[in-house]
Amino acid sequence: MSGAAAGDDSLRPTQLLRRSRPFRALFSARLVSYAGDSLSLVALMFHVAETTGKALAVSLLLLVGDLAPSLLGPFSGALADRLNLRRLMVVCELVQAAVLLVIVLTLPPLPVLLALVAIRATAAQVFQPASRAAVPALCADRDLETANSTIGFGSNAAEAAGPLLAAALFPLVGVRGLLLVDAVSFLLSAVLLATLPSLPAVTGNARQPSLLRQARAGIGYLLSVPTVRVIFLGFTAVVAFNGVDDVALLLLARDTFAVGNSAVGLLLGAVGVGLVAGYAILSRWGTRASMPLLLIVGFGVSSVGNLLTGLAWAVAAAIALQGVRGFGLAAMDVASSTLLQRTVPAGLLGRVFGNLYGAIGVAAATSYLAGGLLLDATSAPVTLVVAGVGGLLATGIVALRLPRAMRRDAEDAATPTTSAPTTEQIG
């Protein structure tokens, strides 16, 4: 297990993209797909709002797209561990393209639309752990920090640009046109992914246990390995406390600072700017950092950002604090992904990432609900302070537990009888 920086011999982002054709294909596929996906989300929100006139319908659209697939996290991760990763990712992109084409051709009523969105989101949920599990097979261990930061930078930059492109294209092509662009983006992504080398399951052609048994083994492994367990529980706890920030920031700008729509947009978008900047910085200098330390710093900065935003005296200060918070979120993502990729056996990576992303989705939904109740009972500043304090408590526990967990795992790895996962865990 390696928690230290990879060293100065690692490639820079541009070098990695230039020299590694497989990694460049994965990066490009993610860039294209994320940009198209953010376009379609805006289009569907416009469509649902205009055709139903109900905020609840838009909330259902977002809930179906986020929470429902998250509950399938253990199974989506198990699929990534039992199937060829290249083939699985291509199929996921083709399924999403097909679903979007059906929506483009029919623009179905809300219940059918929600079902189709759920299918598309499930395919995306399956893709996510598969793409993370593929990274160690496409680049050297010393380049994992750079690879994760580069993918994060490209994905978030594309996601941030999506709404701007949607605003520019919507008057010209309408809802169907935006959805068609997204469908084409998934097709292009599938073509790029098809150029990857074959990424077969670790178990090869050996007979595998049932999907349910593999999913259960993945959960068992995640909870039994100290380092993985601390990262998993710490990440979900921080999200559970801080996930309410989007709603709280909207109310903070509108009710507390009483500012106009432009300032509201700047406040909501500041964290995205910080994210992109954070990924850019980490892609260049992240290999010099200790990943355990970066994880703890990320947890802490993301939580302190909300706490101080709740205490901010002006909207400009809140915007700056949310920008800094974005760097914390980027650090969380890069450090957790790199640590897990270096800690978890290849045959379990998909399940670990599937469970992590599934739990994050559930934690975010829980934060929306609990935070909404707290917002109604108190105010946006109080809610942000409570969220930040809770996140800092979780950060403190991780700071205490993670070094011990890593030492324990290192000792276990040095003992021949415990150095490798069981056949059942891998299967």
Q: How confident is the model over 37-53, as a mean pLDDT? A: 77
Q: Where are the alpha helices (DSSP H) in 139-243?
A: 144-194, 211-224, 226-242
Q: How confident is the model over 214-226, as a mean pLDDT? A: 91
Residues 6+ apart with CB under 8 A from 211: 75, 78, 79, 82
Q: What is the per-residue pLDDT for 426? A: 54
Annotated domain spans of the chain: 13-415
Answer whether CATH 1.20.1250.20 is correct for domain 13-415.
Answer: yes
SS3 of 69-119? HHCCHHHHHHHHHHCCHHHHHHHHHHHHHHHHHHHHHHCCCHHHHHHHHHH
Q: Tell whether the model's pLDDT for residue 168 goes beyond 70.
A: yes
**Coil vs helix vs strand at 317:** helix
Lowest mean pLDDT among 1-10, 279-288, 401-410: 1-10
Q: How confident is the model over 46-56, as a mean pLDDT? A: 73
Q: pLDDT band at residue 182, thresholds of 50, 70 and 90?
A: confident
| Cα distance between residue 126 and residue 90, in whole Å | 11
Q: pLDDT band at residue 373, thresholds of 50, 70 and 90?
A: confident
Q: What is the per-residue pLDDT for 204? A: 55
Residue with tokens 């068609």: 180
**Coil vs helix vs strand at 11:** coil
First CA to last CA distance, the chain: 22
DSSP character for 204?
A: T
